[in-house]
Amino acid sequence: MWQAGNPSQTLQRTPYIGFASSSSSVLKRRSTPNFICVCKMGGVEKITETFFISHGTPRMSIDETIPARHFLEEWQEKVYSKRPRSILVITAHWETVVPTVNAINHSDLIYDFGGFPARMYQLKYLAPGAPDLAKRLQELLAASGFECAVDRKRGLDHGSWVPLMLMYPEANIPVCQLSVQPRLDGIHHYNLGKALAPLKAEGVLIIGSGSAVHPANNTPGCLDGVAPWAAEFDYWLEEALTAGRYEDVNNYTTKAPNWKTAHPWPEHFYPLHVAVGAAGENSKAELIHRSWDHGTLGYASYKFTSS
């Protein structure tokens, strides 16, 4: 339970409950390898892209039938071939009143889900923490007028470690997490991203980890393809992003069709706003993956290239 007077306290929500089974439907689209643009700057590789990744179900950590798993396993080969100095993950599974970073030396895992096979709770991802990056985040957010709290105990939740164990199985790149603020709006998170933009020039890979479409757990699945309401929202999002209508995305509750079903709670959408803000208002968006679970849980993922 959240209590006033403790701005860094994590907001409590029921842990992610798994489906009894997993079925996937993929919308095919022609794709080519997407290589990130990296420039040398004072000995540090300047990254010009940010990413939004739909991490979907925690079952992706063990289920080879989920198409998004293969997309993430091919990350270094087809999406991002360079090694970042460190990784910042804005995770949907850490909800706080004010922006909060974890400043730890070693990344313990949080198994913040229930109803899954026992072996998932034995998985490990021993990436180093990034306390220096956490300090830098504090500086940047303070300079932009944001209050920022620090958590010196919190490990990686599954919004971070599940995709990262597939993208970077070597677990040798320092990782820092940043929380989302579900009581605030998309504009807040977009501006949060803008404040973090200088990190790209310092070799930090910024990844928003959420879900493009994330309905309530009790939403009926679609056995025949993709639910129409989900497809309509998902394609609205793609069109708005690739057309550069970031203001529409920031104000999605007045612009997007079926938004309340696609995101009954906003925490899985807000990491996208941070990734867009960090890329910049003139950045170019590209859809780099799309697939579905049960025809309702959307795995669309995007690359944002700064101008």
If one counts the domains in the chain, the total is 1
Domain-embedded: residue 11: no
Rounded to 10 degrees, what is the CA torsion of 30, 33, 38, 44? Answer: 130
The residue segments making up the domain with residue 272 are 37-305
Domain-embedded: residue 257: yes
What digits encode the pLDDT tens for the residues 261-282?
Answer: 999 999 999 999 999 999 999 9
Domain-embedded: residue 21: no
What CATH number is given to the structural domain containing 136? Answer: 3.40.830.10
Mean pLDDT, the chain, rounded, equals 90
The tokens for 130 are 């990034």
| Total-model pTM | 0.88
Domain-embedded: residue 217: yes
Domain-embedded: residue 15: no
The tokens for 230 are 């989900």
Residue 262 CA to chain centroid, in angstroms? 16
Per the CB < 8 A criterion, the answer to whether 112 and 288 are in contact is no
Q: Which of 11-15, 25-29, 62-66, 228-232 has the lowest mean pLDDT?
A: 25-29
pLDDT exceeds 80 at position 23:
no
The CB density around residue 118, as the number of other CB atoms within 10 Å, is 6
What digits encode the pLDDT tens for the residues 26-62?
Answer: 333 223 334 344 455 456 789 999 999 999 999 999 9
